[in-house]
Amino acid sequence: MNSGDRLGRIIFGLGILGAAMVASIVVSLAAAWGFGEVTGYKHSLEHHPVDAPWFYLVFTAGVLGGAVLVYSVPDLVALTLGVEVMNALLLPLVLGFLVTLAIGPARRTSPARRVFMAGHRRGRPHGDIGGLRWPEQPAGPVNPR
């Protein structure tokens, strides 16, 4: 192997190492932020570790847990393939949650509740049972002749 091949492998390895470090920080920060958002704790890098201990604890646990996982697996290619398969299997679930969040709380009710409430809004309780709707009442006379 000549020096060009060796230098290329070293640079490529350093690039992969840097990308892995950035990814571990991003994923750990996202997990810590999500945990803080759900639990109501302070969840930002703006806060000092004394002010937001749970955020920094979850962040540190995520980084250290990832490091232990990578260090303990002897075949990194198999680990990478396993992570990608897990990503592909969980993606529909994540997209479903994102769509649910995007449509807003007013539209997150069940179809049965929407049908029930639609009848009440028109002054007719249970007016839309089974998806069948009563025709709207005309504003004026039916035959104006």
Q: How confident is the model at residue 112 (pLDDT cuts 50, 70, 90)?
A: low
| Percent of the chain at pLDDT exceeding 70 | 71
SS3 per residue for the chain: CCHHHHHHHHHHHHHHHHHHHHHHHHHHHHHHHHHHHHHCCCCCCCCCCCCCHHHHHHHHHHHHHHHHHHHHCCCHHHHHHHHHHHHHHHHHHHHHHHHHHHHCHHHCCCHHHHHHHHHHHCCCCCCCHHHCCCCCCCCCCCCCC
Quote the pLDDT of residue 115.
61
pLDDT tens figures, 23-73: 999 999 999 998 888 888 888 888 899 999 999 999 999 999 988 988 999
